[in-house]
Structure 1
């Protein structure tokens, strides 16, 4: 393993999530390898989210355009503008709780593979009995990986647990649909970075996530609606059969886009 690890900046989009954000930032404060900086993007919060972020030493960036795509994009811009192209930008959600080696493992993965451009991993729900959390998490994320993987012709990125090189973001920052609040920003990013790039899904790089996505019928329907909307916005030029043909013919593919590390 290389002795010198790349710097990792952390981006957290946030809107009215002060309580969850405090737990997230507490987990970042316990990292074995500290991040270079933490950028919390305040997306028009009406609670104390910004105050919580500053209390933990995070840099607060305000983004007036509503929606996670705009907030995440503003965070990536802020982090990329403060780093070298080979530096790493990690992304999690405000309701994530990160394991203490999260930053270290991300930095080590990119240090070990200089060609790696995107790294992503899954999550597991917290705040419920362990067995139920594992089963529900696997059902939720398994459905996501299967459905979106079929549409993309490779494993999709997962925005709650994502890292990419600053240079890779800068190359696609003007292409992603960052002004559309109904877009799944991680799927959109997968469309723009997932083929022709060296990307990896590491199933053993797991973060904790709040189960809000599956606690109500309205929440589940919202995610389905956004999923179809995200796919439709990239069609017809990126229809599934177009992307699968591109994959199998090698057209425009510079490196494996879906390397998977087995769960350890």
Structure 2
């Protein structure tokens, strides 16, 4: 079984669309589970998620990484996949994850992204991110994994210590530990629709600059306002 973990916080505008795409997969619904881990939302996120998910509960750990960890600990599957509440998953996403782990000796899998809000600027921004991801993978220097489109061998993920509960860069950092325990594999055909809403709201350059700033600080935001939102 594959367990899909979706962290949420005040996502009533997006969660149904995300979970509907997860419910409409090319593999039977009983071969995977959907776990929504909520940061104590003040809106209807949990109410809307309940009919579409197998588990919905409030996280006990901190930050988005902590929500993913809580989901992994509640998971029944040998493979734990993670995505975001404002993403759209292609119909073959779960199937492709399962096939990669069945056919390859890997401990972590990740893919690429495309913008849900289609525009030249957004396509260019994510082209840069996907190019950086491919270069890092093929040069074996840095694995630019994204929490919205990655999957783990659950046993190895737990043994590695899971995500760090930091402000940003947790999805980048975990791959550096996973690669010490096995192969981390990039499947460029494993694609996810990625929302550019925060980049549009706060500016792409500012968002990227602050993300890099936080990562260089070891994941602590300091005075940066990268996410521009509360999260438990």
Contact 2:6 2:84 in 1 (8 A): yes
Cα offset, 1:218, TM superposition? 5.5
Aligned partner of 1:239 in structure 2 is none
Cα offset, 1:149, TM superposition? 6.8
Instruction: With the length of structure 1 as denominator, give the TM-score of the two structures.
Output: 0.73
- Alpha-carbon distance change, 196 to 36 in structure 1, aligned in 2, over 3 angstroms: closer
Q: Structure 2: where are the runs of 5+ without partners?
A: 220-232
Distance 2:129 2:190 in 1: 17
- Alpha-carbon distance change, 69 to 61 in structure 1, aligned in 2, over 3 angstroms: same
For residues 222-237 of structure 1, what are the structure 2 equivalents within 5 Å?
222-233=207-218
Contact 1:22 1:52 in 2 (8 A): yes
- Alpha-carbon distance change, 23 to 74 in structure 1, aligned in 2, over 3 angstroms: same
Contact 1:61 1:75 in 2 (8 A): no
- Alpha-carbon distance change, 160 to 112 in structure 1, aligned in 2, over 3 angstroms: same
Contact 1:98 1:207 in 2 (8 A): yes
Instruction: With the length of structure 2 as denominator, give the TM-score of the two structures.
Output: 0.82
Contact 2:142 2:176 in 1 (8 A): no
Aligned partner of 1:21 in structure 2 is 15
Q: CA RMSD in A?
A: 2.6
- What's the secondary structure of 2:142's corresponding residue? coil
Cα offset, 1:74, TM superposition? 1.2
1:119 aligns with 2:109: yes
Aligned length: 217
Cα offset, 1:104, TM superposition? 0.5
Contact 1:91 1:163 in 2 (8 A): yes
- Alpha-carbon distance change, 156 to 136 in structure 1, aligned in 2, over 3 angstroms: closer
For residues 245-264 of structure 1, what are the structure 2 equivalents within 5 Å?
none
Cα offsets for 1:1-39 (capped at 9, x unmatched)? xxxxxx211000110112211101010111011352111
Structure number with bigger Rg: 1
For residues 1-264 of structure 1, what are the structure 2 equivalents within 5 Å?
7-33=1-27, 34=29, 35-79=31-75, 82-83=76-77, 87-113=78-104, 115-129=105-119, 133-142=122-131, 153-173=141-161, 176-178=163-165, 180=166, 182-217=167-202, 220-233=205-218
